[in-house]
Structure 1
Amino acid sequence: MNTPLAQRAPAGDIPPQHWQGGAIDCAACACAHLRALPGEQGCEPGHACLQDVYARRIDRFFRWHPALSDGQLGHPYFEVRAIAARRASVFRLRALIDDPDETVRLQIALRLPLEQLPRLARDPHREVRIRVAQRLAPAALAALRDDPDYGVRELVALRLPLALLPTMARDADRAVRLRVAQRLEMPALLQLLDDPTPEVRRVVAERLPVALLPRLAHDPDWRVRWEVAQRADPATLAALCDDEDPEVRRSARERRAAAPGPRTLPTAAPTGVAHG
């Protein structure tokens, strides 16, 4: 049963207020005719209202009336436009690509058809570009490799086709190069052998072919050498047993001790004697 308006608490922690300030005047609202309808067929100031300043009440209004979303994409209040964009026809969203408010553009970046999404790839707001990078087809991500924000480039490095990924191996940001190191294949991975950041070189040590690990066995950072010790061949492992760092020495010695020794060939059975 619907709670009478006078008894229902406002939806949220602030009293009803018009988005332009002051009290809500239902008589001046284009949706005033809905007040006479019961429950979710209608509207309710303080609970589900198109003209409220509070986004939660606006959202409830559009959940009750999703068919009205298309008609409110040009509303002067950015919260109304942004919330209407969640349920509006995708064919109407293109008109909001240049909306002056990033909250609106954030919403359409989630729903815009993929072929129109590149229009937002140079949006001035980083969060919009991040959402674009999350949705763009991998082959279309190349345009974002030089984005000024490292968070955007990090997403690009996670999704860019492997054939294009080596072009990001010298990115200025450590976090981006770390993502590149986690995905690069040989021989492109060799570009990161001399990366200035130990965390990146450690990832390289995790993925480098065993035969090439000696190239990192004398790395200046003990964490890289420790990673080498986890996979190195016997000769490299023997050298690491005398490493200057105690953790590297311990790891190398433990692994060397656990390695199986040379097997002794069984003695041949005498001629004519069954070998059971």
Structure 2
Amino acid sequence: MNAPERAWSDIPARRWDGQAIDCAACPHSTLHAAGGCEPGHACLQDAYARRIDRFLRRHPGLANGSLGHPYFEVRAIAARHADVFHLPALMADPDETVRLQAASRLPQRLLGRLRDDPQREVRIRVAQRLAEAELPTLMHDPDYEVRATVARRLPGALLPLMMGDADLQVRRIVAERVTMPALWRLAEDPAPEVRRIAAERLPAALLEPLARDEDWLVRHTAAGRAVGELLQRLLLDAEPLVRERAAERLQELEDRRHG
């Protein structure tokens, strides 16, 4: 028995409602008689999700009939194995774990109905799977992680619409993906973290405003990519580390020229 098996066995076998497991009273008692399930290992009555999952992996044909089970773990695990045609009924399930599982498998024509789910985890899953054409409907979700997921997947042409997002994490994702000419606007972002990304990605000829940035780390980033007069100016920057990086950049260019 490997370590995970031992861990499962260490958890006492109890029915999902706290009562003792009674195989004789189970509607699947014939499976037990045939060795198709085992209390404490693979059991639909158990409160432990891993044992429920073991049971339904062995008997996926019973998943459809388990979607109405009173225990949310059974419904959630059954949703992984049930026919997709039975999943719409779970969209209004009272438990978010069940709705999350439904959102993982629902067809696109129904998935969008969960975009206003009260639980962020469900909406994040929707954002991970929703067709690109539908993603703009989640750009203004109240949860930053939903919007961040959208920013990772949104078609490039629409990314500028999220450049003004209130959350720094979202804007950083946008900054890492957006292209010119929208990328140029990020040089004026209020967060230095975003401006540093702009300094990493903007064409060298457009680094002028970032070489004058109030944040020395932004200037340091610009110094690592500057050329010509801009690089000469950064060699005289007030911050020693910026001057040092500018000198390194100058040497890199010299080595490249003579290499």
Is 1:65 aligned with 2:64? Answer: no
Question: Which aligned pairs between 1:152-163 and structure 2 lie closer than 5 A?
Answer: 152-163=146-157
Q: What amino acid maps onto 2:130 in structure 1? A: L
Q: What amino acid maps onto 2:150 in structure 1? A: V
Q: Of residues 178, 182, 203 in structure 1, which corresponds to 2:176?
A: 182
Which consecutive unaligned segments of at least 5 residues does structure 2 have? none
**Counterparts of 2:130 and 2:176, CA distance in 1:** 21
Instruction: Say if 1:10 and 1:16, in contact at 8 Å, map to a contact too.
Output: no
Q: What amino acid maps onto 1:21 in structure 2? A: G
Partner residue of 1:18?
Answer: 15
Q: Of residues 24, 30, 33 in structure 2, which corresponds to 1:33?
A: 30
Is 1:113 aligned with 2:110? Answer: no
Partner residue of 2:214?
Answer: 220
TM-score by length of 2: 0.92
Q: Over aligned residues, Cα RMSD in angstroms?
A: 1.8
Instruction: Say if 1:122 and 1:129, in contact at 8 Å, map to a contact too.
Output: yes
Instruction: Say if 1:58 and 1:83, in contact at 8 Å, map to a contact too.
Output: yes
**Counterparts of 1:257 and 1:192, CA distance in 2:** 29
Superposed displacement of residue 173, structure 1: 0.5
Identity, % of aligned positions: 62
Q: What amino acid maps onto 1:160 in structure 2? A: L
Change (3 A) 1:246 1:18: same
Question: What do residues 16-53 of structure 1 show as CA deviations (whole Å, max 9, x unaligned)?
Answer: 11111121122322111222103xxx221222111111
Change (3 A) 1:165 1:9: closer
Change (3 A) 1:60 1:241: same
Question: What do residues 165-209 of structure 1 show as CA deviations (whole Å, max 9, x unaligned)?
Answer: 111111000000001111111111122211111110010111112
Which consecutive unaligned segments of at least 5 residues does structure 1 have? 1-7, 264-276
Paired positions, count? 252
Structure 1 or 2: more helix by fraction: 2
TM-score by length of 1: 0.87
Instruction: Say if 1:12 and 1:56, in contact at 8 Å, map to a contact too.
Output: no
Instruction: Say if 2:21 and 2:39, in contact at 8 Å, map to a contact too.
Output: yes
Q: Which structure is larger by alpha-carbon Rg, 1 or 2?
A: 1
Q: What amino acid maps onto 1:177 in structure 2? A: R
